[in-house]
Chains A and B, each alone.
Chain A
Amino acid sequence: MRLSYPADVKIIQVPCTGRVDILHLLNAIEDGADGVYVAGCLEGECHYLEGNLKARRKVEYVKRTLTELGIEPERVEMYNLSSAQGARFAEIANEMVEQIRGLGPTPVKSNTAA
């Protein structure tokens, strides 16, 4: 299966999406990421029981924070898929990239950057 997905996506691997923290997501936005999504296992299929459910709650928290700050909450998303769904992985990457393209570049830009 030689599927391609957009080069815009930078993958950061974690043992379980339960490891993803609110701060990881916020720091990504803070550092200028146009969007960030969490790709966890299917709900009910977590090897650690509820890591993906916790990740979803954290994503929801960050969405609320972004909304409070006047930033589109769609810049942060949670997806669920199994490790056997390679095609779905590529599809999600395309979907997210299209969504972020629709929103445009991040409004979070440092005014001190070179």
Chain B
Amino acid sequence: MIVADRKSLQEILAMVEDNKKILIAGCKGCVTVCNVGGLKEVEILASSMKIARKKQGNDIEIDIDVLERQCDIEYVAGISEKVGDYDAVISLACGVGPQFLSEMYKDQTFYPGVNTTFFGGATQHGIWEERCAGCGTCGIHNFGGLCPIARCAKSLMNGPCGGSSGGICEVNKETECIWDSIVRKKMDAGRLEDLIGVKGIKNWRTARDGGPRRSIREELVQGNI
């Protein structure tokens, strides 16, 4: 899923300090799963903001809505009748949400209420870790199922750097050296030779280096199948 962290209350409050009536729009997709932009988080943010504004003696009217997904135009269209009723809208979806909203409703101002961080998963309740960098050319199978693009601080393709110590990355003591794990996994499986072969140079044009990406599936573009 796409993982995000909520912005601080102070940052969000500053965004709408001049507004009197706003909408907070959550999303039932990834941000609901990572507990940052679902119904509960939307309600908590709305209540917290109302408390802050009442304390300032500057009440704010806040409506809430949670869209099925903010990354599909048919669901974004669902708020068309009311979106104009507000001074501004705070989106608690990933970075895609405020953009889809801004593209559809050009006269409204949309603020991101979260910082979108990475593609990852929950390793335990409340802890999410990055697992994919979306490089566009997946080769996880070449590395024992562990991705060095996303999980090595330097995205090294050919083994650990000199900063690997005791299985820990030099960049952050909380981060495992994924190359240490890859090599150990291959050794345990008796297949260390899998890592010896020379791999071709990775084509980074499929990653962000090639500019914004687009995925087209002709059969779907032509209609439902």
Residues of chain A whose beta carbon lies under 8 Å from any beta carbon of chain B: 22-23, 26-27, 29-30, 65-66, 68-71, 107-112
Q: Which residues of A contact B50 (CB under 8 A)?
A: 30
CB-contact partner of B51 in A22, A30, A112, under 8 A: A30
CA distance A109 to B8 in the complex (A): 22
With A65-B9, A68-B8 as given contacts, are A26 and B44 in contact (CB-CB < 8 Å)? yes
Cβ distance B203 to chain A, nearest Cβ, rounded Å: 45
With A23-B43, A109-B54, A111-B54 as given contacts, are A69 and B59 in contact (CB-CB < 8 Å)? no
Contact yes or no, B58 A111, CB < 8 A: yes
CA distance A30 to B47 in the complex (A): 7
Q: Which residues of B contact A27 (CB under 8 A)?
A: 47
With A23-B44, A65-B9 as given contacts, are A70 and B51 in contact (CB-CB < 8 Å)? no
Q: Which residues of B contact A30 (CB under 8 A)?
A: 47, 50-51, 54
Closest 3 CB pairs of A and B: A26-B47, A108-B54, A111-B57
Q: Which residues of A contact B43 (CB under 8 A)?
A: 23
Cβ distance A68 to chain B, nearest Cβ, rounded Å: 5
CA distance A22 to B43 in the complex (A): 10
Of the A-B pairs whose beta carbons lie under 8 Å apart in the complex, a sample of 26, sorted by A's number, is A23-B40, A23-B43, A23-B44, A23-B47, A26-B44, A26-B48, A26-B51, A27-B47, A29-B51, A30-B54, A65-B9, A65-B44, A66-B51, A68-B10, A69-B9, A69-B51, A69-B52, A70-B55, A71-B51, A71-B55, A108-B51, A108-B55, A109-B55, A110-B59, A111-B57, A112-B59
CB closest residue in chain B, given A107: B55
CA distance A27 to B50 in the complex (A): 9
CA distance A30 to B58 in the complex (A): 13
Q: Is the interface of B mostly helix, strand, loop or mixed?
A: helix
Further contacts, 16 of them, CB under 8 A, given A26-B48, A71-B55, A108-B54 = A23-B40, A26-B51, A30-B50, A65-B9, A65-B44, A65-B48, A66-B51, A68-B8, A68-B9, A69-B9, A108-B51, A110-B54, A110-B59, A111-B57, A111-B58, A111-B59
Q: Which residues of A contact B55 (CB under 8 A)?
A: 69-71, 107-109
CB closest residue in chain B, given A22: B44
Q: Tell me the chain B residues, 3-36 only, with Cβ under 8 Å from chain A.
A: 8-10
Cβ distance B58 to chain A, nearest Cβ, rounded Å: 7
CA distance A110 to B53 in the complex (A): 9
